Amino acid sequence: MSGFTVCGTVIHAPVCGEVEVLEDALIEVDETGHIVAVHLAGTDDYQELRRRASERGKLQLLAAGQYLLPGLVDLHIHAPQWPQLGKALHLPLYGWLHQYTFPLEAKYRDIGFAEAVYTSLVDTLVANGTTTALYFGTIHLEATKRLADICLARGQRGLVGKVAMDNPEECPDFYRDVSAERGLEDTRALIQYINALSGNETGLVKPVVTPRFIPSCTDEMLAGLAEIAGEYGCHIQTHCSESDWEHAYVINRHGRHDGQSLKEFGLLTNKTLLAHANFIDDADMDAIGQAQTGIAHCPLSNFYFSNAVFPARKALDRGLQVGLGTDISGGPDPSLLRNCSMAVTTSRALEEGVDPDADSDSRGTPGSRIDFREAFWMATTAGGLALDLKTGLFKQGYAFDAIVIDANVENSNLILWEGLDTHEDMLQKIIYSADRHNIIRVWVQGRLIKGDNNS
């Protein structure tokens, strides 16, 4: 890969709650896919830099109505559940898992089935602008290796974990690790496989230690996974206080909330991502903040399975690292832009309440709303921060992970009105109206993985 320069209107969110729009900005990308510099129109060397890039055939110009955004960072995806998207959403979480999800995930002992599903999923996510994805796999080592292979081959930044679940009281006989020892061995084997993967010398694909959640794991498994994560310096992902049932289970078993329990096992680190976290309290937030642990807010799936709305405004105000997750397939939409809009919607539902029989003054939780600025920040910058990766922002030294949104495509719901729409209006309309057809180019680490340079 050789370096290049992109010129056009750039939109990103360096600070939570603020959007920065740079018109006719020049972004220099080197041969390693990192941003060398961002040059603003009107600066002393701007015209000369643009001229030289053009003469070398290295200038990629965005047209009017096209916008360069950071690549989207999805912090919670169940890769094997992709065939289940949009099904069984009428069930509560426990029933959904045991009647539909576990039987489906058990099928991934078939490598051919796994390859077909995972290829379809990665391609769909890339088409929707997801440049970084945090994946739960299944208990099957070989199938999870194939997921890592596919991420690398397709050029998506993927963090991939083999699910650990060995508790016979909560996991079905047909789908669980045969023992804690075996689950730990397979986790170690996956880490070693991904770290040695040919073509992955830059670490585009990373291994993740993945206890499904506390109910599915014995204490032996949880302690062993923490030891492995520390040994390899790996990311960790798990569910945390997702639903009434799961939250109560951990209290009954360990006498404390998920966050406190994970901390006791050594699983709460600055590379840990907690999915959902709907029922965390102030003490949990303190522990999560002190550990610099990230939270994957999954606004759409929470409506279906959590019986609660995550207090995003409160968490952000406390300085927690909160990104967004689609939670495929508990969340029935692979688009992170749709989950941006849902993050705004759910925060409004929390603030204003939803029970028409309750008095308006006591119906909701005041001060809970976020808006499109915070949602966009969570989908980009915050995702990179939560993963401790330099992505999600256009800044010197960061990976050039980016998407081009085109408002000019035919039959689009994204309509911009010259003279009426401000820069912030443009971003709002992108969040609420753009879909995969408007995303005409996708780069990861400077490599173009969707579209072409002439689109």
Structure tokens at 10: 């750039």
| Cα-based distances in Å from 196 to 149, 190, 192 | 12, 10, 6
* pLDDT over 90 (residue 15): yes
- Express each pLDDT in 289-346 by its tens digit: 999 999 999 999 998 998 889 999 999 999 999 999 999 999 999 999 999 999 999 9
Average pLDDT on 343-368 reads: 92
pLDDT tens-place string over residues 58-101: 999 999 999 999 999 999 999 999 999 999 999 998 899 999 99
Alpha helices in 239-305 (DSSP H): 244-254, 258-265, 282-291, 299-305
pLDDT higher than 80, residue 453: no
Mean per-residue pLDDT over the chain, rounded: 96
**What's the burial of 148, exposed, middle or buried (CB within 10 Å: 0-12/13-18/19+)?**
buried
Exposed, middle or buried, 89 (CB in 10 Å: 0-12/13-18/19+)?
middle
With residue 240 as reference, give the H or E element that holds it: strand 235-240
Contacts of 203 (CB under 8 A, 6+ apart): none
pLDDT of 1 over the 80 cut: no
pLDDT > 90: percent of the chain: 93
Q: What is the C-alpha separation between 365 and 348, in angstroms, rounded?
A: 9
The CA angle 113-229-148, to the nearest 5 degrees, is 25
* Alpha-carbon span 93 to 455, nearest angstrom: 43
**pLDDT score for 454:** 66
Name the percent of the chain lying above pLDDT 70. 99
- Beta pairing partners, 60: 6
Provide the token pair at 208.
């993740």
Euclidean distance between the first and the last CA atom of the chain, given in angstroms as a whole number:
19
- Model confidence at 361, pLDDT cuts 50, 70, 90, reads confident
Q: What is the mean pLDDT of residues 359-366?
A: 89
Query: Between 111-127 and 141-154, two packed helices, what is the crossing angle to 10 degrees?
Result: 30
Q: Where is 270: in which H helix or E strand?
A: none
pLDDT band at residue 354 using 50, 70 and 90 as cut-offs:
confident
* Per-residue model confidence (pLDDT) at position 455: 57
Q: What confidence tier does 452 reach under pLDDT thresholds 50, 70, 90?
A: confident
pLDDT, position 14: 97
pLDDT, residue 2, reads: 81
Both tokens of residue 193? 């496989």
- 357 phi and psi, to 5 degrees? -85, -15
157-168: average pLDDT = 98
**pTM exceeds 0.95:** yes
243 touches 218 (CB < 8 A)? no
Residue type, 238: T
pLDDT of residue 160: 98
